[in-house]
Amino acid sequence: MTTDPHCDADLAEVGAEFTYFRRHCSSLDWRLLHLVFGSLALFLVLVAVGFAVAGAWLIIPFAGIEIAGLGIAAWWTLRRSGDFERLAFDGDRIVVEIREQGLLRQFEFNRCWARLVTGDAGTVALRSHGREIAIGRFCGEESRQALARELRNRLDGHRLYRINQVTSAGEA
């Protein structure tokens, strides 16, 4: 299958029968972010306090609001930079782990029952028993479709394998 060359993740057989892992693409160097935020915050504090000493204390609240705004943006960016999506086929189980904006969620599907559904806008999701979870959120369009083909093959293959197992057990 083709994968995006940009992320440090792709389809890989690690431990489980099949694992897919992809990170949110981020060029963030957290030390640089701290340097930018820290230097700006320090500068603003010095300027605001300096002018306050000279009598112009009303700069302080604006500096404070801006440091807070910048801090929220930095925190938000940092929080998203660790986001990932992991999908593992392990026997009859499909385990999906998604970390989005710092929040880790885990889902489990039965491999015999799970179906792959694709949407008009190129979205791909796993569906079973009324539950649906989008996958490939950190891929480009082309990679997501390639992932969908790979998953469909594996799901169909496993279903066929199970049917054959049951049939041969019945014959025996």
Q: Are 28 and 78 in contact (CB under 8 A)?
A: yes
Q: Is 131 in the site for another protein (CB under 8 A)?
A: yes
DSSP state of 112: T
Q: 73 or 166, CB closer to another protein? A: 73
Please state, in angstroms and rounded to a whole number, the distance separating the CA atoms of residues 172 and 159: 20
Amino acid symbol at 59? I
Binding segment for another protein among 9-17, 55-63, 86-94, 151-159 (CB under 8 A)? 55-63
Rounded to the nearest whole angstrom, what is the least distance from the CB of residue 62 to another protein in the complex? 4
Q: Which residues contact 10 (CB under 8 A, 6 or more apart)?
A: 3, 4, 20, 21, 22
- Quick one: tokens of 145? 């479709």
Rounded to the nearest whole angstrom, what is the least distance from the CB of residue 131 to another protein in the complex? 4
3-state helix, strand, coil in the chain (%, to 5): 45, 25, 30
Binding mask 16-35 for another protein (x = CB under 8 A): ---------xxxxx--xx--
Q: Are 82 and 99 in contact (CB under 8 A)?
A: yes
CB neighbours of residue 166 within 10 Å: 10
How many residues bind another protein (CB under 8 A)? The answer is 56
Of the candidate residues 143, 146, 147, 148, the single one contacting another protein (CB under 8 A): 143
Q: 129 or 170, CB closer to another protein? A: 129
Binding segment for another protein among 12-20, 105-113, 153-161, 164-172 (CB under 8 A)? 105-113
Q: Is 73 in the site for another protein (CB under 8 A)?
A: yes
The residue behind tokens 């500096």 is 63
Q: Is 54 in the site for another protein (CB under 8 A)?
A: yes
Residues facing residue 105 across a β-bridge: 98
Return residues touching another protein (CB under 8 A).
Answer: 4-7, 25-29, 32-33, 36, 40, 43-44, 47-48, 51, 54-56, 58-63, 65-66, 69-70, 73-74, 77, 81, 105-108, 117, 119-123, 125, 131-134, 137, 139-143
